Structure 1
């Protein structure tokens, strides 16, 4: 889901206007969790929340275009009027911009703030996040998913998908690591077969990412994280519930300690 690194002129049509941009993808696990039908609450507020989640989770990255209005409205189960009002609200808040023309649409302009302790503190203050509550909720969801998967045998297709997602995050560039790390974690939830679990973890993961995105990303930490990812996946494959729980807890405790240490 990344824009081409080629010469911008090569991406222009015969009239000199910008060529077709890459659209956000509705097929990935994170996208499926975010772009699900709006069922409860205020349709406008819930739609804004879903679109904002797509931006923060990297489902639609900086410079990328949201899927076509008709497709996105149908996926969210809202009218095109509500979708337009929601996109307009995000535009006024500086998250997206609307471009006209043959290759127009709604493009993400949001840029993550530079890492700083004050930014993490601002996120906590603005979201009213209680770290103990957030971390406990996350541990319950992720260890629960690992136990469910370890208790049942993965199908060849599920094992292949997990292998692909693990390889993707291990090969990720630093700038794209958080997005692919999120996809791996959400894949573990998705493979349990519980849509409710996947939705809940998506919400929690967005809140955790808001904190992690405001902190420096160290290569050594990513290398250690990849080792833990492999241990988690192997425990699931071995149907070893105790090892799966232990691996997930160690992994989550590492990020929790990182956040708490940065705030200290």
Structure 2
């Protein structure tokens, strides 16, 4: 039994591994938990300044809470200036600022108590995404390469972090689609959500250009490996590539720990 099979078997059987859903933080109320979860998601870059948060009904489904809980949590974020509410057809809750004084405490409450679980998820996600990339390299059809190329072009020509974020998501969706197995795509999305505070969105840090350039190089190399039908190379690139997201979350945790000590 290889390393990937052992880790995946432990995760799916529940033997000492994280539960299927991210375990809730034991705080005073569901509103506190949702507020902290949203503040942390914004701090790590799941949602960037100028982006709209998921709509109310989607938050209810993603976080498994009631409508009043979501509304009160959103109200708290609005009160501390992290989001603004826009009315009208294209309205919603939009991120204003990635970081406020309240963010540090929320990040510590959300991440610190279950950091060991996050490290397990980062490890498992690297193994799974390596498998996804290898499978895409074996099964891709000529038409599967078109959306990958388009997303790669969009990523390299992006003019701001939001465009980069969208293009990155499109590229990895295209890789999942090239496996021609919806169950693999669902597993990838589930692990992303579990490692990203319940939201199936890749963390984007503070838009550091070093992460952007490394991501671009990885995307180009991964595309070439899949296009050439090289599963070994594709798996190697993908496993290394997905450490970027883990490193971004580690950076945010280190930042709030430093602030907490000062």
Structure 2 partner of 1:93:
77
Q: Partners in 2 of 1:142 and 1:149 — Cα distance?
A: 10
User: What's the secondary structure of 1:129's corresponding residue?
Assistant: helix
Q: Partners in 1 of 2:235 and 2:106 — Cα distance?
A: 28
Check whether the contact 2:85–2:92 (CA below 8 A) recurs between aligned residues: yes
Task: From the superposition, tell whether residues 88 and 255 of structure 1 become closer, same or farther in structure 2 (CA, over 3 Å).
Answer: closer
Output aligned runs, 1:115-130, within 5 Å: 122=108, 125-126=111-112, 128-130=114-116
Q: Partners in 2 of 1:185 and 1:109 — Cα distance?
A: 24
Give the CA deviation at 1:231. Answer: 1.0
Is residue 2:131 matched to residue 1:144? yes
Structure 2 partner of 1:223:
213
Task: From the superposition, tell whether residues 91 and 153 of structure 1 become closer, same or farther in structure 2 (CA, over 3 Å).
Answer: same
Task: From the superposition, tell whether residues 98 and 253 of structure 1 become closer, same or farther in structure 2 (CA, over 3 Å).
Answer: closer
Output aligned runs, 1:7-22, within 5 Å: none
Structure 2 stretches lacking a partner, 5+ long: 1-22, 25-29, 256-262
Check whether the contact 1:66–1:105 (CA below 8 A) recurs between aligned residues: no
Check whether the contact 2:52–2:93 (CA below 8 A) recurs between aligned residues: yes
- What is the aligned-residue RMSD (CA, Å)? 4.8
Task: From the superposition, tell whether residues 254 and 66 of structure 1 become closer, same or farther in structure 2 (CA, over 3 Å).
Answer: closer
Task: From the superposition, tell whether residues 173 and 188 of structure 1 become closer, same or farther in structure 2 (CA, over 3 Å).
Answer: same
Structure 2 partner of 1:14:
none
User: 4+ residue stretches of structure 1 with deviation over 6 A?
Assistant: 66-69, 118-121, 257-262
Q: Partners in 2 of 1:82 and 1:253 — Cα distance?
A: 34
Aligned length: 208
Structure 2 partner of 1:232:
222
Structure 2 partner of 1:213:
205
Is residue 2:153 matched to residue 1:170? no
The TM-score with structure 2 as length reference comes to 0.57
Which has the bigger relative contact order, CA under 8 A and spacing at least 6? 2
Task: From the superposition, tell whether residues 180 and 129 of structure 1 become closer, same or farther in structure 2 (CA, over 3 Å).
Answer: farther
CA deviation digits over 1:146-165, x for unaligned, max 9? 12211213251x32211111
Structure 1 stretches lacking a partner, 5+ long: 1-40
